[in-house]
Amino acid sequence: MGGKKLDNTSSNGNGTNADNNNSNNGAVGANSNNFNSNPNTTTLKITVKPPPATIHQSPVINLDRGDPSVFEPYWKKNGGKCTITISGHESLSYFSDPHSVCWYMEPELQDAIRRVHLIVGNARTEGYHVVVGTGSTILFQAALYALSSSSAVVAQPMKVVCAAPYYSQYKEQVELLQSRLYEWGGDANTYDDEDKTAPFIEVVTSPNNPDGSLREATVANKTENGGKLIHDLAYYWPNYTPITRPEDHDIMLFTLTKCTGHAGSRIGWALVKDVAVAQKMTSFMQITTIGVSKDSQLRAARILQVVADDCESKAGAFGYGGDDADRTFFGECRKVMAGRWEKLREAVKGNDVFGLPKYPKRYCNFSGRYFQPAPAFGWLECKEGYDASALMKANNVLTRGGDTFGASNRYTRISMIGREEEFDRFLERISGIHCVNEDEDKEGEEGLVVIHDNNGNARRGNGNFLHEVK
């Protein structure tokens, strides 16, 4: 995907990364900044302060990983309620409920999952089977296995597609096992099945990782057989985005990591309509891991119960509560996320090097108010001709480049959910990056200087700096 110019109107379906010739891929609510690139502009220079020596002596800031330490202060204040005691004679058996589809799932965890979804209102659980996994990543694999192995025998593996920009690890996860059942099919926006009848699997991530846009299916709405869908709803919680409706798709994936921040417990769950698909997903878990740690399940159950109790006591039995909802776990964490986004936008305000998506306000059924999304990741767009990730790396900031998401490397993803001190250091560093015309530069100005000519060449000192922009 090329580094095309973007307008100030709503994107035409690909979040912040739309090509003008693409049809609507279902992305909702993310507009991109416009840099008004002029092919006749003079040579440009990006000046980064403090001086290079100081930059390279500064600690590396890792915003590549999505480690949810942002919620740590909340749990330090309120985590005592989550304490559980597991005696030596407990949790010895593989089995929890032999009569359940997911026979290794602790009943307490299933009850807590259904309860928190009912209170938040982000997903329907009635008529669904719950399948638990060691995080949602393995449940994604289980869903691929269940959907592809239940199809009629075909000559070729089922294509797995997702609209770009897509989560960077989908491709790796699909290709990891080199399965004969399915294979990576790339960007759903450009997927073209010649006979229009071949089975395929489309992954719909909403809110999307990396750009935070709300999405619907792309290919499945245009083909005769409709394809099979996996909805990754890991970020569809009120600490990140307004809850506009309860989702009711065939397979919905969630994770404790992004819901409460407890990534180390490694608990994810899938809400599955079709009992046969749920059984196949459970079989996958049985073959690969023989279930999920009961200790982790019981801890997750307690954490979700504490969150649900908190919501019910402050926001009412069904989550609606205005100011009261702001005092719940979700409300307090949303304020933290909103505060970080406000600081980031202020840091790039007036900066003609970077741009950020713009999200419209929506009514949240949980909080009973309108607010803008505050996604877990920032999708930074760099001025046309620049490699955003390389520019960040030169300033000792590690990010994940746009090309890993099926997008241009003009974009890069930054984590918004790390520790506060790390995020504040990043804000200081990005505030020191600005763009000036060559004729405006003053001789002897200190700083890391990257010079770009009108042919897209870039150099820092005597060496090449930026990767080729794709």
Neighbours of 53 (CB within 10 A): 10
d(CA 409, CA 165): 11
The average confidence (pLDDT) of the chain is: 82
Instruction: Quote the pTM value.
Output: 0.84
CA–CA gap between residue 332 and residue 328 (Å, rounded) = 6
Q: What is the CA radius of gyration of the chain?
A: 23
Output the CA angle 379-372-73, nearest 5 degrees: 80
For 20, other C-beta atoms within 10 Å of its C-beta total: 9
Please write the tens of the pLDDT for every residue from 177-213.
Answer: 899 999 999 999 998 766 567 889 999 999 999 999 9
Residue 351 Cα distances to 179, 346, 366, 382, angstroms: 46, 9, 35, 10
Write the pLDDT tens digit of every residue in 418-445.
999 999 999 999 988 876 554 444 443 4
Q: Residue 121 — pLDDT band, cuts 50, 70, 90?
A: very high
- Assign 130 to helix, strand or coil: strand
CA 259 to chain centre: 12
CA-to-CA separations, 250 to 13, 47, 103, 275, 331, in angstroms, rounded: 23, 50, 21, 11, 29
CA pair distance 78, 30, nearest whole angstrom = 34
pLDDT attached to residue 156: 83
CA distance 278 to 281: 5
Q: Which CA distances in Å does 181 have to 160, 175, 272? A: 10, 11, 20
Q: Are strands 158-162 and 182-187 parallel, antiparallel or unpaired?
A: parallel
Nearest Cα neighbor of 218 from 192, 244, 251, 243 is 192
Q: Tell me the domain boundaries of the chain.
A: 93-315
CATH number (3.40.50.10490, 3.40.640.10, 3.40.30.10, 3.40.50.1980) of 93-315 reads 3.40.640.10
Q: What is the pLDDT of residues 354-366, one digit of tens each?
A: 999 999 999 999 9
Helix, strand, coil content of the chain in percent (nearest 5): 30, 20, 50
* pLDDT band, very low/low/confident/very high, at 314 (cuts 50, 70, 90): confident
Only one residue has tokens 């915003």, namely 63
Burial class (CB in 10 A: 0-12, 13-18, 19+), 360: middle
Which of 464, 457, 119 has its CA nearest to residue 309? 119
For 361-399, the pLDDT digits (tens) are 999 999 999 999 999 999 999 987 789 999 999 889 999
Evaluated on CA atoms 306, 307, 310, 312, the torsion sign reads negative
Answer yes or no: is pLDDT of 456 > 60.
no
